[in-house]
Every structure is written in C-alpha cells, then in structure tokens.
Structure 1
Amino acid sequence: MKSVVIGLTGGIGCGKTEVAKIFQQLGAKIIDADEIGKSVVETQPNVLTEIVHVFGRKFVDTDGTLKRKELGRFVFADEEKKRQLNRIVHPHLFKRVKQEIEVAQNAGYKVIVVDAALIYETGIENIFDKVIVVNSDLKNRIERIKQRDQLTEDEINHRIASQMPLEEKARRANIVITNNGSVESLKEAAEKIFRTFFD
C-alpha cells in the first residue's frame, strides 16, 4: 500500500493538534507545519532578514531570534500585514513540508498527516489525498485558546476572523470531525476515521 497523505486543518482552537496526537499514537507520521514555520525563520537567515526589512528590528530579540508573539499580535490586527508575512514565510514552509512528506514516504509510513492551519487559504489542498477539518463551537474554541495562548478575547476574535470561515472549510473538506464533546469522544471519532485510511 502506498502512503496516504492527509491534510489536517480547522480553525484556531478547534482541537486539530489533539486529533494529530491521536493519529500519531495510532502510527501516523505527523508533520507540524507550525513547527516547520518556526524552524524556517530560525534556520534560514534570508527569511528573518526579509521579515526585519518589512516589519522592522523591533520584532527581533537581542540574541537575534524573532519575537514571534509580538509579531503575531502585530500582524493579526491587520489583514495586509498578515498577507505580507505569509508571502515571506509560506514558499519556504511549503517547500519544506513537501520534503518532509517525501522523507516520511521513503521511511515507509503508511499514513502521513500534515497538521496545518492554512491549507485552504494557501491553496495547497491538492497535495493531499484527503483533507480533514476539525470543527468546534465558537464558545469551546474561545475557551481552549484562552487556556492555551493567554490572549485577550479581542485578540482571539481577531485571529478567528482572520481565518477562512469554518463552515467554508468544512464544506470543502473530505472529512469533518466535530469536537464539542469529551476527549474520549474525540478519540473515538479520530480512531474510526483512521481505520478508513486502510480501506
């Protein structure tokens, strides 16, 4: 069986990373696009140079590392700035994602899952055999984000508004997982879907 490449996405605070962890426990190779995005900035000096050129040195620490939280707050408040940042980082990010998929395929993984927030926004859905969207009620999402990211409700709403509407993602997905219940019910739903990858 050749490997199945899955795109896993959803709105901020929907629980897609939880689903990725469940898939990993079941034997999938997880490629975390957010982690790759961080490493692209840290390991490719030209990317950081371009970020500094566009947004200024105020987002770089004294040790030369990017102040990700501050830059995030700054760009999420302005759609055009967010687009500028994405234009700098995304080409490098997707090149690396494709390389990681190839490495995982060569290593013999049967299921490869790319955990990425912006699959539809960036138009990369075609590189996947299937796209799974994790969906959740707004109230639950806000609660999860508050616990995880220590953002204000205003900042949370900005980030939610800056993403493609969840309904649109769900409409375009091959599979939708709704995460409004317990961790156990999420695990059950994810396991059931995982088994279908081998049909």
Structure 2
Amino acid sequence: MRRIGITGGIGSGKSIVARLFAALGVPVYDSDSRAKGIMATDLGLREQLLAAFGAETYTPEGLLNRTHLAQRVFGDAAQVALLNSLVHPRVGADFEAWVATQAAAGQPYILKEAALLYESGAYRQLDRIITVFAPPAVRHARVLHRDAHRSAADVEAIMRQQLSDEEKLARADYVVYNDDSQLVLPQVLALDETFRQG
C-alpha cells in the first residue's frame, strides 16, 4: 500500500484536494484534526502541554484552549518548536496505527494531509508527496475571505512560518495547481489512476 502525502501552504486548497480524493474512496488521514483529537484525549500529552504552556492551555471543562495556545506560541520559534516536539511524535505514532488498519482493509494507497509535512519530518513516513500550489496573492485573498478572525498580518506571519512554495515545489513528486486557472478535478483523477496502477 502506497503512502502519499499531500501538503501546501495556507490557502492553497490542500484540504479541498484531499476531499476530492476521499470522494473517490481514498482513505485520508487529516493530520490537523487528528492532532487536535490527540491533544484532547492523550493524558500524558495533556500534562506536558500544561507544564509547557500553562494552566490556561485547557478550559475549566477540559477542552483544548486553542486561542491561548496560539497566543503563547505564535511568532516565537522556540515555543513553536517545543509544541511541535510534543505533538508531532504522537501524531506520527497515531498515523502508523491508522495505516495498519488501512493496509488490513486492502487499500491500494492512502493519503496523509498535513500543512507541515516537511517541517514536522512526517514526509519520512511517506512514499510520494503531492504539493497543492496556488500563488501567494491568491492564497492570501482566500484565507482572508475564509477566516474572518484573521488579519492580513496574521496570514503573512503564517506564510512566513511555513516552508516556501519554491522549496515545496522542488521537493514534490506531483503538483496539483489550484490557481483558479486550471480545473482541479481532472488533475486529481489523473493522480488517482496513477496511484491505483502502482
């Protein structure tokens, strides 16, 4: 069973592309949502996050306080690195367990969607990488339209923290262009056929 990664900068449309693969019956591991689940349920990780980022990391009801956590780490490379060092290994282990269930089900290939595929080291668990590409100006406009809580400065700061488009494109095995000038579905169908052929 082939393991295919899918990544792209904020606003590139990687989640939309992943949903198209899912609509074709491809199992998709959403790293972001799985990480949130692990941060909510893994008691050992919860203790480490509380120790590292303070009592406000979780609400009085025991829910992850994403706003507090974002405020604590945003713009501070050392704090981001600390958070990632705590969360990414657990997501990696969760992914391996998930892959085992998919392999047992006889899937020809699976996808792992992750914004920080290279930055987290998760690319090492994968056979091939798809990068979803859209020009920075298009991505910026999409995020501002989609996320009312983000400012233009927020979006620019997030873009600066992610690996550059040039680096992602250079490291990609496949590129899906989601730049509003090409249809995405035919690109996904072609890749699906390639992956199913092995």
- Normalised to the residue count of structure 2, the TM-score between the two structures is 0.93
Distance in 2 separating the partners of 1:7 and 1:147? 27
- 1:168 equivalent to 2:167? Answer yes
- Superposition map of 1:115-130 within 5 A: 115-130=113-128
Root mean square deviation, CA, Å: 1.5
- Superposition map of 1:77-156 within 5 A: 77-149=75-147, 150-156=149-155
CA-CA distance at 1:7 after TM superposition: 0.6
- Normalised to the residue count of structure 1, the TM-score between the two structures is 0.93
Q: Runs of at least 4 residues of structure 1 off by over 6 A?
A: none
- 1:8 equivalent to 2:6? Answer yes
1:58-103 alpha-carbon deviations (Å, 9 max, x no partner): 2321201111133124312211111110011111111001111111
CA-CA distance at 1:131 after TM superposition: 0.5
Gaps of 5+ in 1: none
Aligned 8 A contact 1:76 1:162 in 2: no
Distance in 2 separating the partners of 1:94 and 1:157? 28
CA-CA distance at 1:126 after TM superposition: 2.7
CA-CA distance at 1:56 after TM superposition: 0.9
Moved more, 59-68 or 88-97: 59-68
Gaps of 5+ in 2: none
Distance in 2 separating the partners of 1:86 and 1:46? 15
Distance in 1 separating the partners of 2:166 and 2:71? 25
Distance in 1 separating the partners of 2:183 and 2:173? 20
Tell me the matched-pair count.
Answer: 196
